[in-house]
Amino acid sequence: MTTLIDLAELGSVGGFFALRTGPAPAAARPFAQVYAGPESGDPIGFRVAKVAARLGAPEDRVAVSVAQLGLAARLWSVALGSAALYGRVPDLDPALLHWDADGSSPDDLWLTGVRTRPGDAAAVRDAVQHGHLAPLADVLRARYRISAGLLRGNAGSALAGAARELHGWAARSGRPEVGERALALAAELFDHPDLRGTGTLSGTAFRRRSCCLYYRCPGGGLCGDCCFERPPTRSSPAAPSG
């Protein structure tokens, strides 16, 4: 993998693009165990509780949303960044990719098996949406009161954010072709039932059709791509779920 994907360069795009390889630390669990449920040590529950405490989230689903959004951003960034830079994506098989639920980028993801796949949109979608975000959504929805539309909206927002970050890095680095590949891949990924309808992507600009609920946290506000123009009040309609 190191002869095809330069992980140091990939990580230089930003912390969300970093990927560690080699033996995973003891605290990290393979995602295959994470998606198996609480009997695997409950890393999902730990992460949600940690996010809730950090944000002062008023209800579980706010912390669930923010936790899932952050993880989606990590996964999309690694896969999209690799595809745009090198035309390859690392195999993010849940049995090989480990996650430290108490960690943060760049030290939360570890890949113990070293192999790559062609970096077209289908491979990126398979690695992230099908390999991780779908089973993660199943676990979260079975355990918490969270809508499928909100989680899909988070996935779209995270992908758009990864593409925007790549495009900016590419412009600053004098590699505009990388930024254009990132936007082209993102557009193709959005033109698929998994993400179609989650929002409108126009170049690097994205406006989602749902809300991640961050505004409900003390001191929280609206994200730059939020469907709302201003934070809803208690008398306002409930946040759309996509």
Q: Given this model, what pLDDT does residue 114 score?
A: 77
**Helix intervals (H) in the chain:** 7-12, 31-34, 43-55, 60-86, 121-125, 134-143, 148-172, 176-190
SS3 108: coil
Residue 137: burial class (beta carbons within 10 Å; 0-12, 13-18, 19+): buried
Does the residue 136 lie in any domain?
yes
Does the residue 134 lie in any domain?
yes
Does the residue 175 lie in any domain?
yes
Closest CA relative to residue 10, chosen from 111, 69, 86: 86
Does the residue 107 lie in any domain?
yes
- Measured in whole angstroms, how far is the alpha carbon of residue 97 from the centre of its chain? 14
pLDDT by residue (tens digit) across 157-206? 999 999 999 999 999 999 999 999 999 999 999 999 999 999 999 999 99
Does the residue 222 lie in any domain?
no
pLDDT by residue (tens digit) across 4-55? 899 999 999 999 999 999 999 999 999 999 998 776 679 999 999 999 999 9
Give the model's confidence band at 2: pLDDT under 50 very low, under 70 low, under 90 confident, else very high. very low
Does the residue 225 lie in any domain?
no
Contact criterion met (CB below 8 Å) for 11 and 18: yes
How many domains is the chain partitioned into structurally?
Answer: 1
Does the residue 233 lie in any domain?
no
Structural domain that includes position 27: 7-216
Query: Can you give the pTM of this predicted structure?
Result: 0.93
Distance CA 170, CA 13 (A): 9
Please state the three-class secondary structure of 134-147 as a single string.
HHHHHHHHHHCCCC
- Integer CA distances (angstroms), 166 to 40, 74, 184, 214, 229, in order: 35, 13, 12, 24, 26
Q: Given this model, what pLDDT does residue 127 score?
A: 97
Contacts of 148 (CB under 8 A, 6+ apart): 137, 141, 241, 242
Does the residue 94 lie in any domain?
yes
